[in-house]
Amino acid sequence: MAAAILFLSFEEPDLTMQERLTELTLDKEEEKKLLETYERYTPVIKGFLAQANDRSDEHITSELMFCLQTAQSSAKTARATINRLKECGLLFTANPHQIHKCMEGVRFSKKKSEYLHKARGQIPSIKQQLGLPKEELREWLVENVKGMGPKLASHFMRNIGIYGLAILDIHVQNFMERNNLLRGQVGKLNRKAYAENEKIFLQLAKQLEIPPEELDIAIWMTGNGSGEFYG
């Protein structure tokens, strides 16, 4: 059975509540694949999230530097960078040149190596903000960490155990577009459009009874098809 999604559109405030309710549905085959993937890989998904709730300097630094690489690059190559830095004992000390040398296959690696180096120096400030409400924390990260927008901020937060936001990466956007849920163009969501689509995604998660931090991973793994997940 297709999942019927109800969300509120606030573009026309003069409409009645009933008129603002719009029913959306998932394509039956898309829904079937997604739910089968989620069931198959639930141990992997929950296992990743169980270890994510770690506030050590090493974990926060690793995930911050990982997430900052993932814009227009694969999670696999970004994770490999972090592994190389750790293997060389350089996670906390590498200069931009050393970071860049470890970023094999990462797009825009020269610019991103500067972002990673600067962000690593902000870890003490970031840790001081972790008690903020999640929406405020995300806004702080977007405003203060260079190279970080709402999607990367949500990604980083999820990877350190702060849940309840949407990570609208290209896989999720494509999924939403295929199911006529996306408002806007894939890969071209401004902050207003991101917020609008986040509401739809969170409503979808509620409808499917899958936590949003798990639904994002399930969508990614459905598209990937290999059962591999790098964060």
Same domain, 132 and 202: no
Do 72 and 155 lie in one domain? The reply is yes
* Residue with the larger pLDDT of the pair 131 and 21: 131
Q: Is residue 229 part of a domain?
A: no
What pTM does this model have? Answer: 0.88
Same domain, 72 and 153: yes
pLDDT band for position 57 (50/70/90)? Answer: very high
Would residue 199 show up in a list of annotated catalytic residues for this protein? no
31/105 same-domain check: no
Total domain count, the chain? 2
Quick one: 80 and 25 in the same domain? no
As a whole number of Å, the CA-based R_g of the chain is 18
Is residue 164 included in any domain, yes or no? no
Question: Considering the domain boundaries, does residue 84 fall inside one?
Answer: yes
Catalytic residue among 151, 192, 206, 216: 151
At 115, which CATH number?
A: 1.10.340.30
Amino acid 25: pLDDT: 87
In a domain, 173, yes or no: yes
- Residue 22's H or E segment, with its range, is strand 21-25
Instruction: Please give the DSSP secondary-structure letter assigned to residue 3.
Output: P
pLDDT (mean) for 52-58: 95
Whether 230 is in a domain gets the answer no
Q: Tell me: the pLDDT tens digits for 4-26?
A: 444 333 343 343 333 333 666 89
Question: Residue 211: enclosing H or E segment and its boundaries?
Answer: none
Closest alpha carbon to 173 in 160, 189, 162:
189
Domain contains 31: yes
42 and 66 in a single domain? The answer is no
Q: Tell me: do 120 and 174 sit in the same domain.
A: no
Residue 98 binned pLDDT confidence (cut-offs 50, 70, 90): very high
Q: Which of 54, 118, 169, 206 is catalytic?
A: 169
Q: Which of 143, 125, 115, 150 is nearest to 60 (CA)?
A: 125
Q: What is the mean pLDDT of the chain?
A: 90
What pLDDT digit, counting tens, does each position of 145-168 carry? 999 999 999 999 999 999 999 999
Structural domain boundaries enclosing 80: 54-159
Q: Same domain for 65 and 128?
A: yes
Strand pairing category for 4-8 and 21-25: antiparallel
For residue 134, what are the contacts with CB-CB under 8 A and spacing of at least 6? 157, 162, 163, 164, 165
151 part of the active site: yes
pLDDT class for 119, splitting at 50, 70, 90? Answer: very high
Q: How far apart are CA 27 and CA 178, in angstroms?
A: 8
Residue 176 lies in a domain: yes
CB-side neighbour CA atoms (13 Å) of 16:
2
